[in-house]
Amino acid sequence: MKCLSPSILSADFARLGEQIGILEQAGVQYLHFDVMDGQFVQNISFGMPVLKSLRNYTNLMLDVHLMVTEPARLIDQAADCGADIITVHAEACRDLDHTVRLIKNRNLLAGVALNPATPLSALSYILPVIDMVLVMTVNPGQGGQKLIPYTLDKVRDLKTMIGQQGLKTDIEVDGGIDFETLDTALDAGASIIVAGSAIFHGDIEENTNRFLKMMG
Ligand code: DX5
Ligand code: ZN
């Protein structure tokens, strides 16, 4: 199944609840929640109190993307605040296996994210343990960037790797996905599509319907 995961990084925070309501009405199942710490990436976004408020507000799957150094520190808090999926960066973990197990121990879905230049070999041994791989299709840290084309080669190779191991791991793509790049990302093998500016800039309902239609 293919899922759209709108990134609220591009939302109007003064109207966040209302905008999430529009996504729910349109039939979206996931909500992408980008946590940035000003260290792993330059920007600071939002954190656990906002996640908790959203958990009390919506039943959408909360897809939490931790762009933070040493995310093991935050797993329990993110779980307590209502995350359904927690994704950590391979580049940010001192001990990736340990961090993934902290997520699995809370009975949540575990994702591992790879920056554009990080090779798939970082996943060789951990792939069977995780539920999702987030392939960054831009460098992490801000919305509205252009997709880096070679990252879709990585999605294709990952799809092959998952097939060869007989796994069902989801592939999420994040960054620069819009009406122009969506088709190629889907063709490459992505099953969870993150989109920020392409959803929230302009008419949210119209954009969401258009995405969902293209995703079939
Ligand atoms: C970037 C974030 C993304 C971002 C995507 O570091 O991880 O989730 O919101 O934004 P767009 O879709 O505008 O590239
Ligand atoms: Zn993200």
CB 115 within 8 A of CB 136: yes
Tell me the residue type at 156: R
Beta strands 132-136 and 85-89, pairing class: unpaired
pLDDT at position 171 is 99
pLDDT for residue 1 is more than 90:
no
Q: What is the pLDDT of residues 105-142, one digit of tens each?
A: 999 999 999 999 999 999 999 999 999 999 999 999 99
DSSP annotation of 140: T
Residues with C-beta less than 6 Å from any ligand 1 atom: 7, 9-10, 32, 34, 65, 138, 140-145, 174-177, 194-198
Mark whether 34 is an active-site residue.
Answer: yes
Gap between the Cα atoms of 73 and 180, Å rounded: 38
Distance from the first to the final alpha carbon of the chain: 10
Residue-wise pLDDT for 29-62, tens only, equals 999 999 999 999 999 999 999 999 999 999 999 9
Give this prediction's pTM: 0.98
Select from 4, 44, 63, 138 the residue to mutate for testing ligand 1; criterion: most ligand atoms less than 8 Å from CB. Answer: 138
